[in-house]
Amino acid sequence: MRATAWWHELSGAAKFRLYTRLSFQAVIVVLVVVLAVSAASVVPVLGIVVVGIAASAALEAQPDFATVPGVVARPRMLPVAIVVLVALWAISGVVARWASDESTVLSARAVGLSAVFMAIFAVIPFTRHKWWILIGISAATPLLVFGTPLGAGLRGAVVCLFTGIFAILLTRITVWGLGIIDELERTKGVEAQLQVAEERLRFSRDLHDVVGRGFSAVAVKSELAVALSRAGDTDRAVAEMEEVRTLAVESMGQMRTLVRGYRNIDLRGEVAGARSLLSAAGCELVVEGDAAKVPAAFHEVAAWVVREGTTNIVEHSAATTATLTLGGSGMSLRNDRPQGAIGERSGLRGLGERLAAVGATLDIATAGDEFALEIHWEKK
């Protein structure tokens, strides 16, 4: 189902943000129900419902609770919600001060206090000068809604103040927790990239250590052979060139051994390594089929596909799910949430060349929010 797929595409941090936002929205719904039940007539109930809708919209527009950190789908909802809450608070205060009917006064006070509590919960904790605003609202509400700083007004001010302190502390602790989750998510991505970089550095270091000395000797002896030839000592020049040929052959053999050791990788081991690496990057790898189904002649190149494809997912996507399919006629590696143009992925061009050398083909496909490597071969 589309809803299920959308949920699985979210990262762990995004899921936690969504859960937190829905929890706060649930609290607003509970507050609206409790305040509406305690209201005496239909008019304050409608006002309380409008207040709840405004508070819910304010929470949806808060960047701290966005599914993607700092990205809000409808940022204009926040100023509109604030205007609605302030307007209802002010209108309720005016009605409560000037109305002569007791039921009207009580209804206006219910709406005004609801606007204050919703603002304390959904708006004030996210503002810059939250503590001063809370003190001001707590002091102004008794005068505006109750018309007196004493008695019920004083009790209302104390309730507003302590409710605001609790809401601000709860909200800031929640936002702090979201920040820690985001930092852990970024750390996982960095760890995966470091593992890829470490593997590349290992191979380049081994290549330099194994082959570099041989090539240096070839260069020195070649220069010596040229100098001897110019000096007329052809016998020694020929001997030096013989040694150059021997060194070149030995160096090429060492390089082939090194590359073969790097490329002669086990398919099952690469699948296990890919699962570990992608897990560190926050991506779940699902394996369909079995490595035993892959023809023996293509085991090595299939393992290389897994390695290069995994590197491609880590470097060029924000994937949360990947699917590796292994079969007798080919294999595929798919991932969601690709990033960047296909042409930028030079590693895939090299992979295509490796596959062509063994009679296999590589197809690259993008469909919506999915990137896929399709490899086909004929059984030998």
Q: Which three-class secondary structure state does DSSP give residue 93?
A: helix
The boundaries of the domain holding residue 46 are 9-184
If asked whether residues 56 and 171 sit together in one domain, one would say yes
Number of H helices, E strands in the chain: 11, 5
Residue 69 lies in a domain: yes
If asked whether residues 269 and 171 sit together in one domain, one would say no
**Pair of tokens at residue 53:** 């809708």
In the structure, what pLDDT confidence band is assigned to residue 323 with cuts at 50, 70 and 90?
Answer: very high
Residue 241 lies in a domain: no
**Pair of tokens at residue 365:** 């496909």
Residue 362 lies in a domain: yes
212, pLDDT greater than 80:
no
pLDDT-above-70 percentage for the chain:
81
If asked whether residues 31 and 148 sit together in one domain, one would say yes
Q: Give the mean model confidence (pLDDT) for residues 84-111.
A: 80
Residue 236 lies in a domain: no
Residue 255 lies in a domain: no
**Phi and psi for 375 in degrees, rounded to 5?**
-120, 130
Handedness of CA 264, 324, 376, 346 (dihedral sign): negative
Least confident range of 20-29, 64-73, 163-172, 305-314: 64-73
In the structure, what pLDDT confidence band is assigned to residue 149 with cuts at 50, 70 and 90?
Answer: low
If asked whether residues 37 and 169 sit together in one domain, one would say yes
Number of neighbouring beta carbons within 10 Å of residue 284 = 13
Res 309: pLDDT? 85
Residue 195 lies in a domain: no
363, pLDDT greater than 80:
yes
If asked whether residues 176 and 296 sit together in one domain, one would say no
Q: Are 285 and 307 in contact (CB under 8 A)?
A: no
Torsion of Cα atoms, 279 then 280 then 281 then 282, to 10° = 50
22, pLDDT greater than 50:
yes
Instruction: State which amino acid sits at residue 8.
Output: H
380, pLDDT greater than 50:
no
Res 324: pLDDT? 93
If asked whether residues 180 and 270 sit together in one domain, one would say no
Higher per-residue confidence, 246 vs 204: 246
How far from 66 is each of 21, 126, 336, CA to CA, in Å? 8, 13, 21
* End residue of a domain, out of 122, 151, 184: 184
If asked whether residues 38 and 166 sit together in one domain, one would say yes
Q: pLDDT tens-digit profile of 239-256?
A: 878 887 887 777 777 677
Residue 20 lies in a domain: yes
Residue 93 lies in a domain: yes
* End residue of a domain, out of 139, 154, 184: 184
- Mean per-residue pLDDT of the chain: 78
* End residue of a domain, out of 184, 213, 245: 184
Number of domains into which the chain is organized: 2
Q: Give the mean model confidence (pLDDT) for residues 31-56.
A: 82
The enclosing domain of 289 has a CATH number of 3.30.565.10
If asked whether residues 74 and 178 sit together in one domain, one would say yes
